[in-house]
Structure 1
């Protein structure tokens, strides 16, 4: 059952601590507390988790993927069935990405030009044509609360002229995406459309992209084209020069990021929203994230360990099941291993985000930052 608030899209910046920001995004399906980590529900599901579990970890918003949903089951079918919120039984906020990244990384026989990109599905080879207008149309059919412009995301490193070409194309596509969003009545439905800053690892191109997008009336702004092969220091240096020129009164979303350390460092630089498949993918491969760093449950040293991953956690997957049992499940290839470790990981990510929100609110973000770094560096000494 979809529970709509009847409210339109808005962003409230509650307080800052240095560059770190605490705020609230209001959408027709609820309030998103920022900084926020959005679990990735690529194909209308967060892998290995029930929607109710995802919500109980503290998540206010999940992400759906335009590319995958346009191929299967199709946006038109989802619309006929009541929209994505009803379809996946998630009555809270949903963000959909534009599908551009997946077209570039998954689709076959891509041909990109000014109009859009033609490609063949990686599932059955069927041909599609994705334009900025069609991407926004699909997201409108899905009924997502937060939608993304179509952009071209290229891998790094790339030649400067290629980075500039893609950035300029993305700016033109941003304008077309906005026009389509308004033509479909997105603002009147309380939905939001985000522009995407591109520019690769070139500071002047990043600044130019952010400044030009800031002149367009988007409800939020994203930093794209990072976490695509560059080291963390390059990503952070791009944030250092990009966030200061992004609108202060709009949410800022760093796409596809990342590790807990990436989140901590990026919030310190003024980012409000994140998404990444890392916690769910890691869980399915036997890796747990905890307050004291990563725990590889494949390692034989856990086979006789009766302790839970984190006895202080409010998440049952973290506080009830022993490391010995989790190790056994992983080694035996049991599906429950991925379910429990994904649950633990999403819960830890939400715990980290709540800790940052609380610290920003209390004016103690630097203390939280330092202590969290120290805990990760120390690790789980008793388990080593």
Structure 2
């Protein structure tokens, strides 16, 4: 899912996002509640009406902001209290209010409010946050009033397999439409993320989607698919695109480097995106001249590349050839065997 934190995938129109092959996008409860306000979004037709996106939209609950704004928050059983990064105003976010906001936003999938802790952390702290996340998930489920909005629970438990398994089993016993693995991709080694994902997925229902939040590099997507994950989001394709990096089957290309100055080749001759209608030399010029078109074009290319990877994964799974597909991609990226 391309990340549209503020109801926009940075720098791109909705038509451009759609043209990358995206089927679903993500918005953020915390940011949209602050600006323009969830009631304003509701009056503008919800996220679909306001943005013009006619596909599914998932909204994160604000749980990650509890983690990322750790220096200015206070967590109690009732709520998370922290200050707005915009004006310092005190925000009190309960599971019930998170669902209320997401119902106003009109997303198709609402994430439960969870308690994320920075890693590494003491086991008691991780367990406390995990158990609170289970209780908050139940409160979110009880608070929901929209039958047209799916609710996804979030498995927490840090890097502890026992805690992850406990959390997954308890959440799986509740009536959610999907399940996410949260609290990863926060600085741990990829091998640790793969280990926890591999341990968690078997505890989740096979007939419901599994979502790995905030991941990641192309190799992380495919390694996680191999372990049972269906759905991803990450700012990496657009953030790296804005900074001059393009993803390809042969590894990443840095367009601020002089090697591309007189290169007439496209990023990828097989890629149908707008960026690949231009030469590498032109793209390098755009970045060096600080023209806004450069970040736009590379964002489009990277999103297209990510969607192409996932399309290829789906096709390979249907053919029963996913292992070979993963191995081929890893050779191109220069990746070693998975941990």
TM-score w.r.t. length of structure 2: 0.97
Structure 2 distance, partners of 1:114, 1:103, is 14
Q: CA deviation at 1:108?
A: 6.3
Q: Which runs of 5+ in 1 are unaligned?
A: 1-37, 379-384
Q: CA deviation at 1:103?
A: 3.1
Q: Paired residue for 1:153? A: 116
Paired residue for 1:66, among 17, 29, 32? 29
RMSD: 1.1
Q: CA deviation at 1:107?
A: 7.2
| Residues 202-281 of structure 1 aligned to structure 2 (within 5 Å) | 202-281=160-239
Q: Paired residue for 1:5? A: none
Q: CA deviation at 1:300?
A: 0.9
| Residues 170-181 of structure 1 aligned to structure 2 (within 5 Å) | 170-181=133-144
SS of corresponding position for 1:276 = coil
SS of corresponding position for 2:331 = helix
Q: Which runs of 5+ in 2 are unaligned?
A: none
* Deviation string, structure 1 residues 21-70 (Cα, Å, up to 9, x no partner): xxxxxxxxxxxxxxxxx000000000011111111111110000001000
SS of corresponding position for 1:340 = helix
Structure 1 distance, partners of 2:157, 2:48, is 33
Structure 1 distance, partners of 2:235, 2:274, is 21
SS of corresponding position for 1:221 = strand
Paired residue for 2:62, among 83, 89, 99? 99
Q: Which runs of 4+ in 1 moved over 3 A?
A: none
Q: CA deviation at 1:283?
A: 0.5
Q: Paired residue for 1:82? A: 45
Structure 1 distance, partners of 2:59, 2:320, is 32
| More strand, by proportion | 1
Q: Paired residue for 1:194? A: 152
Paired residue for 2:81, among 114, 118, 127? 118
SS of corresponding position for 2:15 = helix
Contact 2:198-2:228 within 8 A present in 1 as well: no
Structure 1 distance, partners of 2:287, 2:195, is 38
Contact 1:108-1:121 within 8 A present in 2 as well: no
Q: Paired residue for 1:284? A: 242
Q: Does 2:131 match 1:168? A: yes
CA 1:205–1:108 in 2, change beyond 3 Å: closer, same or farther? closer
Q: Paired residue for 1:309? A: 267
Structure 2 distance, partners of 1:45, 1:143, is 15
Structure 2 distance, partners of 1:322, 1:268, is 35
More relative contact order, 1 or 2 (CA 8 Å, 6+ apart): 1
TM-score w.r.t. length of structure 1: 0.86
Q: Paired residue for 1:321? A: 278
Q: CA deviation at 1:304?
A: 1.2
Q: Paired residue for 2:100? A: 137
